[in-house]
Amino acid sequence: MSALSIAITARLGGFDLAAEIEAPAGITALFGRSGSGKTSVVNAVAGLLRPDAGHISVGGHRLFDSAAGIDLPAPRRRVGYVFQDARLFPHMTVGRNLSYGGRHDADRIIAMLGLAQLLDRRPASLSGGERQRVALGRALMRNPGILLMDEPLAALDAGRKAEIMPYLERLRDETRLPVLYVSHDISEVARLATTLALIDRGRVTRVGPLAEVLADPSIAPQFGKRDLGAVMAGEVGGHDPIDDLSEVRFSGGVLVLPGRLGAPGSTVRVRIAAQDVILSRTRPEGLSALNVLEAEVTGIRFGEGPGAVVGLRAGAAPFLARVTRRSARVLELGEGQTVFAIIKTVSVAPGDVGS
């Protein structure tokens, strides 16, 4: 049984919303451009927007079912909603904000989010990152059946994001709470999500395991140039302190990545942008790039413009490369062919590496 099951249609101001999502436990990311209807889907789950038809259930509980005449009001849905703008009550202290919806597991949540020294403060005196931590704590203390997060990090700078990200990873790994996470930032999604749902102009066009969806060439039109790229999970090997490089072992080989990525043996995810992958028919030699993976071409997609997206598989790990049409022709790329993918080490940004 799915942890989260959504199949709804709704007539909104600018367009029709048609969303169908079946997701297991873990973080389900809803990714799309702004104005594509992401927030409307989340609001429908929370009971703040009533779909015209369809059903929504969380953990087997039906929250909405137009055929059965079920439409649980928002206060009875047991959702924890973290809004983009936090929406803390300005006339209450942090402590009263936190306990507004309940005091479930309060001590542990306050400790986990580092909120103890904020309890007597007013929201107006908090930084953006602190506000989002309080909002997250408030949602969790309600003891929700699902956590809804609508671009919770969008208003934060990179430093504050880095401060909250580990809490979200812990949440994903330590609790069984399903999370519906809205974002238009692919590196956030790549780091956190278990399941990825793509939404474009009100339609959910693709739902599936994160690594699988991101490595599918057919999703290219929905992604910006820099955003297209696959995620590979690997195991951290050794760290070279002199050059400050870490080795990460994937099923298709070894990547050398900048910085210390974690304890040896721990698992990391690395996002490899499609435009940072160079293809060669022969094994390249004398290159400055450290990472060369032997891979098999699984598909090519020609889009509008001069580009082409090549689907690849190294061992069991699928990934993408963006090349020009001309290169694809000159290299005579075709399905089943063996190529060598060159990945520049420095192109894997620290924000693109998650645990």
Partner 1 sequence: MAAELSAPWLAPEEWQAVRLSLKVAFWAVVAALPPGLIVAHALARWRFPGRGLLNVIVHLPLVLPPVVTGYILLVVFGRRGILGAWMADTLGLVLAFRWTGAAVAAAVMAFPLMVRAIRQGIESVDPGLEQAAATLGAGRVRVWLSVTLPLMAPGLIAGIVIGFAKALGEFGATMTFVAAIPGETRTISTAIHGLLQVPGQEGAVVHLALISVVLATGALALSEVVSRKLGPGR
> For binding to partner 1 (CB under 8 A), which residues are involved?
46-48, 73-81, 83, 85, 87, 89-91, 100-102, 122, 124, 138-139, 142
Give least dist CB 128 to partner 1, A: 16
Both tokens assigned to 306? 């001069």
Residue 171 in 3-state DSSP?
A: helix
Residues with Cβ within 8 Å of residue 235, at least 6 apart in sequence:
248, 249, 265, 266, 267, 268
Both tokens assigned to 50? 């009533």
Q: Using CA atoms, how far apart are residues 21 and 40, in angstroms rounded to an integer?
A: 14
Of 100 and 167, CB closest to partner 1 = 100
* Partners of 302 in the β-ladder: 308
Give least dist CB 135 to partner 1, A: 8
Of 6 and 261, CB closest to partner 1 = 6
Residues with Cβ within 8 Å of residue 212, at least 6 apart in sequence:
318
Both tokens assigned to 99? 């306990």
Query: 271 near 228, Cβ under 8 Å?
Result: no
Give least dist CB 193 to partner 1, A: 22
Of 75 and 241, CB closest to partner 1 = 75
Of 47 and 318, CB closest to partner 1 = 47
Of 48 and 289, CB closest to partner 1 = 48
Residue 244 backbone phi and psi in degrees, to 5 = 50, 55
Give least dist CB 36 to partner 1, A: 20
Of 124 and 263, CB closest to partner 1 = 124
Nearest alpha carbon to residue 50 among 12, 4, 101: 12
Give least dist CB 181 to partner 1, A: 16
Q: Using CA atoms, how far apart are residues 294 and 322, in angstroms rounded to an integer?
A: 16
CA distances from 151 to 3, 45, 182, 240 (A): 21, 15, 5, 36
Give least dist CB 72 to partner 1, A: 12
